Amino acid sequence: MDFNLLAFIWAAIIAFAVLAYIVLDGFDLGVGILFPFMKEEKERDLMMNSVAPIWDGNETWLVLGGGGLLAVFPLAYATILPALYAPIIAMLLGLIFRGVAFEFRWRTRRGKFLWDWAFAGGSMIAAFAQGVALGALVQGIHVENRAYAGGWWDWLTWFSLLTGVALIVGYGLLGATWLVMKTEGPVHDHARRLAKPAGIATLGLIGLVSLVTPFLEPQYLARWFDYPTVVFSLIVPLLVLGCAFILFNGLIRGGDHAPFFAAQAIFILCYAGIGISFYPYMVPTSVTIWDAAAPDSSLAFMLVGACILMPIILTYTGFAYWVFRGKVHADGGYH
């Protein structure tokens, strides 16, 4: 296996784009997941207003991650997509429904409840499909002769369903802590109450998935428990427990910001754990980063574009969050 610096840099860029999507669009989807738990129309209006200025920008990272995978790791793209057509299509349909609901919900009175369900249902379907796709990827994709060799339903297993449920609950936690940070009044108080059981369930599901994952593939078991990577297997759970303490301490003591950032840190640590398990594979245990990479000339050419576009994306994302940094009023304004 020959190390290729350009391929490694692009793998890091794709990994960063996916992580950025998870931490930014995760709470966005979580707000939609919590929609059915808010009975008052004004409360749902406030919830939607809390993410209205930034939701579409959050999904930029999904486009970058998916488009980048096609452009710089075409073999991985051609292998993963046929294996995960169903959950990926379900995710895209869910994102479409919730995106349309953002616009149409404010244009009607009689049909507003339909767009409420479109927003909530689209968020749940998108989150569940992402979790299922993750679980299917972790458990392995059958590859022969550099092509997907599995069946139509290989992605549908008890483990992928478990990760799908786990992501719904986890995104719900992110959404609840976001509302704690960004809203006031009944929505703030209700979100704080919801965040506690969501946090407990998220940690329980993380523990369950973590116990099962090492036994899905021998390479995972070796990676988690052989030196020196066993050090990370010890450090990451301790850091998760520390973040859990900050999360619940903030919720109990009335902190508005600490719970959100602690929940985000838990997601980042879980993502790091997945990265430790996957490296150096793009398709776990089948296709490495170096096998999947496009020619060096293509990687270099596209890296120039990435070096121009990524600072722009980061700048306008940061600017949007800075402009809309305050609490959201009931009338949709910020302070």
CATH number for position 34:
1.20.1630
| Higher-pLDDT residue of 107, 192 | 192
Spatial distance between the Cα atoms of 214 and 198, rounded to a whole number of angstroms: 25
Element of type H or E holding 32: helix 5-33
Please check whether residue 334 lies inside any domain of the structure.
no
* Percent over 90 (pLDDT), the chain: 46
The domain in which residue 63 lies consists of 11-323
Please check whether residue 103 lies inside any domain of the structure.
yes
Residues 131-165 pLDDT 10s = 999 999 998 888 888 788 878 888 999 999 999 99
Spatial distance between the Cα atoms of 97 and 12, rounded to a whole number of angstroms: 31
Output the six-digit token pair for 1.
């296996």
| Mean pLDDT, rounded, for 296-324 | 90
Residues 233-285 pLDDT 10s = 888 889 999 999 999 999 998 888 999 999 999 999 999 888 888 888 888 88
Residue 334 pairs with which residues in a beta bridge?
328
Spatial distance between the Cα atoms of 209 and 203, rounded to a whole number of angstroms: 10
Pick the range with the lowest mean pLDDT from 37-41, 192-196, 258-262, 300-304: 37-41
Output the six-digit token pair for 203.
């940690």
pLDDT at 174 over 60: yes
pLDDT at 69 over 90: no
Please check whether residue 328 lies inside any domain of the structure.
no
Is residue 147 a contact partner of residue 78, using CB atoms and an 8 Å limit?
A: yes
Please check whether residue 16 lies inside any domain of the structure.
yes
Residue with tokens 């786990």: 166
| Higher-pLDDT residue of 14, 218 | 14
pLDDT at 335 over 60: no
Distances, alpha carbon 183 to alpha carbons 7, 189, 256, in Å: 43, 9, 9
Res 169: pLDDT: 97
Spatial distance between the Cα atoms of 324 and 306, rounded to a whole number of angstroms: 27
Res 214: pLDDT: 86
pLDDT at 334 over 60: no
Amino acid at 44: R
pLDDT at 97 over 60: yes
Distances, alpha carbon 35 to alpha carbons 71, 121, 156, in Å: 37, 9, 27
pLDDT at 332 over 60: no
Please check whether residue 333 lies inside any domain of the structure.
no
Please check whether residue 1 lies inside any domain of the structure.
no
Please check whether residue 6 lies inside any domain of the structure.
no
- Mean pLDDT of all residues belonging to the chain: 88
Domain count of the fold of the chain: 1
Using DSSP's 3-state secondary structure scheme, residue 244 falls into helix
With cut-offs at 50, 70 and 90, classify the pLDDT of residue 333: low
Highest mean pLDDT among 150-154, 185-189, 194-198: 194-198
Q: Rounded to the nearest 5°, which phi and psi values hold at 281? A: -95, 140
How many Cβ atoms are within 10 Å of 274's Cβ, its own excluded? 17
Residue 241 pairs with which residues in a beta bridge?
none
Please check whether residue 4 lies inside any domain of the structure.
no
Output the six-digit token pair for 260.
């959100």
Global pTM reads: 0.92
Q: Is the omega angle on the peptide bond into residue 228 within 30 degrees of 0, that is, cis? A: yes
With cut-offs at 50, 70 and 90, classify the pLDDT of residue 95: very high
Distances, alpha carbon 9 to alpha carbons 13, 72, 99, 314, in Å: 6, 11, 32, 18
Question: What Rg value do the Cα atoms of the chain yield, rounded?
Answer: 20
| Higher-pLDDT residue of 125, 2 | 125
| Mean pLDDT, rounded, for 36-56 | 86
